[in-house]
Structure 1
């Protein structure tokens, strides 16, 4: 029996050893810290101080009219530039225009602080073809950008009777573009 006891004792010892190794006996120190982070997109918000800049009736070739407006950066992101996107529709209520576009005879010049924005006045037809930058950088917290605009019905010294009673529905969109991306602190 001595041999049996020795074998049983050896098997029991081996089983206890395997249990200790398999279940793992370990000890260590641990510490955990948590951070809460926020990522918020900025707000690009260009505002204009009036809905209608110019409404005029009974214009004839040679007439001009002036209007004023302000653009404001009401967001929290600096503006890289502002483009004027112009579109219009001619309502031909008088004699047929036969393809003659009234927009080619309406000339526009913007002034910012009294200085011309365009090198030379542009017709509505030209402005519709190519958006024009009217403001460069416009940082948050800047004073409003003040503009005046002069619109002239060009007298080409020819008969322009076919434009009588016609109207133009003019839509100006001022599109602000965000500043370039940068590494933030």
Structure 2
């Protein structure tokens, strides 16, 4: 074998060795572990019992009607506010109305029993007409909170017992235009969560 062939063979062997070193595998210890997590969102679930708060016929100026209803938190998250949105429509039976029937129906929020003293039973804590209530959004679970009683809001799994009075106000003037009229009321209650908080 001549010198050129030996040098070429040596170079080829060296190149092969380098490629084996570069492309070879190394053995080492290894281990793996994994972690997992989950997030489950809570629920807001407000119910009103009964769903029809008032349904009365044949009222006249000076009449009043007391009603009781429950606000139930059936969800898993505490409710911080229960905002009341009010709307109504009037059916003018004789087509002679010069005033809004809703201005003559007063709503007296008597109390939230869970946040009141029993010695102030049926005390009017907030009063307005249906007409004005359309433009207001009171928080029903914070109409009045007394020191030493349940605070504002509605905890998950609890209820508040509410008393309300509707009154056809006798204004001492001619209210004949409302004879035979009807008013259909919608009370929409919106539950709202409180601020976020640290969770364990």
TM-score of the aligned structures, taking structure 1 as reference length: 0.90
Distance in 2 (alpha carbons) for counterparts of 1:49 and 1:97:
34
* 1:84 Cα deviation from its structure 2 partner: 1.0
SS at match of 1:12: helix
* 1:125 Cα deviation from its structure 2 partner: 0.8
Structure 1: state its 5+ residue gaps: none
Q: CA RMSD in A?
A: 1.8
Paired position in structure 2 for 1:162: 177
1:77-96 equivalences in 2 (<5 Å):
77-96=77-96
Using a 3 Å threshold, how does the CA distance of structure 1 residues 57 and 115 change in structure 2: closer, same or farther? closer
Using a 3 Å threshold, how does the CA distance of structure 1 residues 132 and 117 change in structure 2: closer, same or farther? farther
Distance in 1 (alpha carbons) for counterparts of 2:82 and 2:132:
18
Using a 3 Å threshold, how does the CA distance of structure 1 residues 9 and 115 change in structure 2: closer, same or farther? farther
8 Å CA contact retained: 2:91, 2:182? yes
1:171-182 equivalences in 2 (<5 Å):
171-182=186-197
* 1:29 Cα deviation from its structure 2 partner: 2.0
Paired position in structure 2 for 1:42: 42
Aligned residues: 182
Using a 3 Å threshold, how does the CA distance of structure 1 residues 115 and 156 change in structure 2: closer, same or farther? closer
Structure 2: state its 5+ residue gaps: 114-120, 142-151
* 1:95 Cα deviation from its structure 2 partner: 4.5
Paired position in structure 1 for 2:130: 124
* 1:36 Cα deviation from its structure 2 partner: 3.0
Distance in 1 (alpha carbons) for counterparts of 2:63 and 2:46:
32
